[in-house]
């Protein structure tokens, strides 16, 4: 066919033929320019192919001081057979691994930052999980830091704890034996609240008293459980020095006499704590895992529990018995001391559920009291899937996917519907198409295309119109000054006044009848300047600049102020946050996030600012965290939503 005078031909066999020939060249060592030395085995390949599939190898090749020579990359801790499987996948898009090698393939994929392969391997392991291997799967997922797989394994263990407890792996776990003295006519509660108190007590013993976990395992520990559901260290009660663990709100209550073994203070810095490095060493988290997983009542007043204590998977045997006459008849009060005003070290609460997919450059919005996260980029591809977070259930579910995969875009709510415009689909630099989501029909429909293809543009609603601000030029190197408005009733686009500065990856939102374009970049120079648009006279005006220049930040409105979250300052992903007060025309810094995040999403749920996804400078994120303005603190634990019900009415 020759439409419009052009010859158009598509050879359906070309791709398969070319892929097969390239893989044959790799196996024969022809034209190969990289050697992977894996535990004494040499694997030949073409670095251009590997760089396209492995962001980790791309980083190494991109920093090679002799780019035209043959690169040598050495791995002493990977399985050669697993790396060969990844090479085969890189050339053929076919992943073939024996069941015994799947964990090794996962480990190699983690090193190579091949997130899609990690996900496929994780899903395969989950599909093969049973009572016999649940513990080993959990240990593996924990060592890999895969929260998605961990959540699946823990859910399985919760449903099959007694079956799991009969397996050899379970029997070999460290054991903590607790004897709980009970007041007359009391029985132990068969739920997680009791074990939250027990974890509090263990953490207190390790941090306050300086005990080692191994020491606690050596003998039976005695605790006291009172009628008002408080847990008391039995030894201290007998000595006349009561320590109480777990009040009505299950918070740890003790007098801190010395600092914890590990500092949990977060750095007061805008930059991320880690940086890109070809070493492949995982980032060390300052947060140690403490988690109740599952429990079962085995006999009368005897309980079996599986929990993570200070990062160690342990079994807790808990036996209740009547208390001796020397025990107090009521829970003693907490003693005050000179150090009573010290900040108590609380048990790390359960983390908020992560998204199913890691996403950077995603679109987010609050709709119907829920957080919507759409599209984005996860290293392997641009996504069209859309996830919905319910804060009351701490659960992510999928809604209808977008018609077009897209990343590097923003999303806005207009007349009860979601709107997305432009972005990138991973193949074209910019998109002109847009679509809108109807929550009643759970369906996306197309809207008239933009006049200018654009990526990294800001989007917001103002005066019942949708505005698209700035973005990238066709080469992606220079910001645009364009501003366009879409009327959903007339289904037509109109031009607005241009920005004062070229901007792409700016954060855009509406506040009190004005539209704000915040930061972004002109070319690749990050900006701290901020412009405000007045729709009444179609003008942009510069206002007070931010404290930190940033592109790829996210913005939300709370209590009449703008909250600008994370971003990239030209060298680091940021964790710092600042707020703009329009009445004073000034910016001030707030408490930093738990994770550095650039190109993340943000939305307001109730009175809490929520941010999700993004890129921390090393990994694409699927995690969620919330900011409580009353405490000026960010939290990635479920306690962060404790005020949601009251704040949302």
Place of tokens 């009327």: 487
Residue 192: pLDDT band (50, 70, 90) is low
324 or 322, higher pLDDT: 322
* Residue 543 to residue 519: CA distance in whole angstroms: 12
Encode pLDDT of 597-638 as tens digits: 999 999 999 889 999 999 998 889 999 999 988 888 898 887
Q: Could you state, in order of their start, the residue ranges of all structural domains in the chain? A: 14-128, 173-322, 363-647
Q: Output the pLDDT for position 209.
A: 64
Compute the average pLDDT of residues 529-540: 97
Q: Which of 164-173, 280-289, 385-394, 632-641 has the lowest mean pLDDT?
A: 280-289
Q: What is the mean pLDDT of the chain?
A: 81
634 or 63, higher pLDDT: 634
Residue 640: pLDDT band (50, 70, 90) is low
Place of tokens 């031009």: 495
* Residue 398 to residue 151: CA distance in whole angstroms: 17
203 or 391, higher pLDDT: 391
What percent of the chain clears pLDDT 90, i.e. is strictly above it? Answer: 47
216 or 592, higher pLDDT: 592
Encode pLDDT of 541-583 as tens digits: 999 999 999 999 999 999 999 999 999 998 889 999 999 999 9
365 or 268, higher pLDDT: 365
Can you name the residues that pair with 469 across neighbouring β-strands? 458, 483
* Phi, psi (deg, nearest 5) at residue 184: -55, 140
Please list the alpha-helical segments (H only) found in 96-191.
Answer: 102-112, 115-127, 134-144, 147-159, 161-165, 168-171
The answer to whether domain 14-128 and domain 363-647 are alike in fold is no
Fold (topology level) of 14-128? Potassium Channel Kv1.1; Chain A (3.30.710)
CATH entry, 363-647, from 3.30.1490.20, 3.30.230.10, 2.120.10.80, 2.40.50.140:
2.120.10.80
76 or 253, higher pLDDT: 76
Do 569 and 605 contact (CB within 8 A), yes or no? Answer: no
Q: Output the pLDDT for position 190.
A: 58
Encode pLDDT of 172-187 as tens digits: 899 888 888 776 666 6
Q: Is the pLDDT of residue 191 over 80?
A: no
Burial of 445 (0-12, 13-18, 19+ CB in 10 A): exposed
Q: Output the pLDDT for position 205.
A: 76
Encode pLDDT of 304-316 as tens digits: 889 888 888 999 8
Q: How many residues does the chain have?
A: 649
pTM over 0.85: no
Q: Is the pLDDT of residue 591 over 60?
A: yes
Do 50 and 89 contact (CB within 8 A), yes or no? Answer: no
Residue 115: pLDDT band (50, 70, 90) is very high
* Residue 395 to residue 594: CA distance in whole angstroms: 20
Contacts of residue 49, Cβ cutoff 8 Å, sequence gap at least 6:
22, 26, 90, 91
């Amino acid at each position: 066919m020759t439409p419009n005078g052009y010859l158009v031909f598509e050879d359906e066999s070309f791709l398969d033929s070319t892929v097969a020939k390239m893989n044959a060249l790799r196996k024969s060592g022809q034209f190969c320019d990289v050697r992977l030395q894996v535990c004494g085995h040499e694997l030949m390949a073409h670095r251009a192919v590997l760089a396209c599939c492995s962001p980790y190898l791309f980083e190494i090749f991109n920093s090679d001081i002799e780019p035209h020579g043959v690169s040598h990359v050495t791995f002493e801790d990977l399985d050669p057979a697993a790396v060969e499987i990844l090479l085969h996948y890189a050339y053929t898009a076919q992943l073939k691994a024996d069941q015994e090698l799947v964990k090794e393939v996962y480990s190699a994929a983690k090193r190579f930052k091949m997130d899609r392969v990690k996900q496929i391997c994780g899903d395969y392991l989950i599909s093969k999980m049973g009572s016999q291997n649940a513990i080993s799967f959990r240990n593996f997922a924990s060592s890999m830091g895969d929260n998605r797989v961990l959540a699946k394994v823990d859910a399985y263990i919760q449903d099959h704890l007694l079956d799991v407890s009969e397996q050899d792996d379970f029997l070999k776990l460290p054991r903590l034996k607790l004897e709980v003295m009970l007041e007359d006519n009391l029985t132990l509660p068969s739920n997680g609240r009791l074990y939250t108190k027990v974890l509090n007590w263990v953490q207190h013993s390790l941090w306050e008293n300086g005990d080692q976990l191994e020491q606690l395992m050596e003998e039976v520990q005695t605790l006291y459980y009172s009628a008002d559901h408080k847990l008391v260290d039995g030894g201290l009660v007998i000595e006349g020095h009561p320590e109480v663990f777990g009040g009505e709100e299950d918070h740890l209550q003790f007098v801190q006499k010395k600092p914890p073994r590990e500092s949990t203070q977060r750095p007061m810095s805008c930059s991320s704590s880690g940086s890109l490095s070809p070493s492949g060493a995982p980032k060390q988290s300052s947060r140690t895992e403490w988690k109740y997983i599952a429990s079962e009542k085995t006999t009368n007043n005897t309980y079996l529990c599986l929990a993570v204590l200070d990062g160690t998977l342990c079994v807790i045997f808990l036996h209740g018995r009547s208390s001796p006459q020397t025990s107090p008849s009521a829970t003693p009060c907490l003693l005050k001391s000179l150090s009573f005003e010290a900040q108590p070290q609380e048990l790390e609460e359960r983390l908020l559920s992560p998204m199913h997919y890691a996403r950077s450059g995603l679109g987010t919005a609050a709709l119907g009291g829920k957080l919507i996260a759409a599209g984005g980029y996860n290293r392997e591809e641009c996504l069209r899937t859309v996830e919905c977070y319910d804060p009351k259930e701490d659960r992510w579910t999928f809604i209808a996917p977008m018609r077009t995969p897209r990343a590097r875009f923003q999303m806005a709510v207009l007349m009860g519907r979601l709107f997305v415009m432009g972005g990138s689909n991973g193949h074209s630099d910019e998109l002109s198409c847009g679509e809108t989501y109807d929550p009643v029909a759970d369906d996306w429909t197309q809207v008239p295309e933009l006049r200018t293809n654009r990526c990294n543009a800001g989007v917001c609603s103002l005066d019942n119109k949708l505005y698209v601000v700035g973005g990238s030029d066709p080469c992606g190197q220079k910001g645009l000054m364009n501003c366009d408005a879409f009327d959903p009733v007339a289904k037509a686009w109109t031009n607005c006044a241009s920005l004062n500065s070229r901007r792409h990856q700016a954060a855009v939102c509406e506040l009190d009848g004005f539209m704000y374009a915040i930061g972004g970049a002109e070319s690749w120079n990050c900006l701290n300047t901020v412009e405000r648009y007045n729709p009444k006279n179609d003008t942009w005006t510069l206002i007070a600049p931010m404290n930190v220049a940033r592109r790829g930040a996210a913005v939300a409105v709370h209590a009449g102020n703008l909250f600008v979250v994370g971003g990239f300052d030209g060298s680091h992903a940021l964790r710092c946050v600042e707020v703009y007060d329009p009445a004073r025309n000034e910016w001030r810094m707030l408490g930093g996030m738990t994770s550095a995040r650039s190109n993340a999403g943000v939305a307001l749920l109730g009175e809490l600012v929520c941010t999700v996804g993004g890129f921390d400078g090393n990994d694409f994120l699927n995690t969620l965290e919330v900011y409580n303005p009353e405490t000026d603190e960010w939290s990635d634990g479920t306690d962060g939503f404790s005020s949601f019900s009251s704040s949302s009415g």
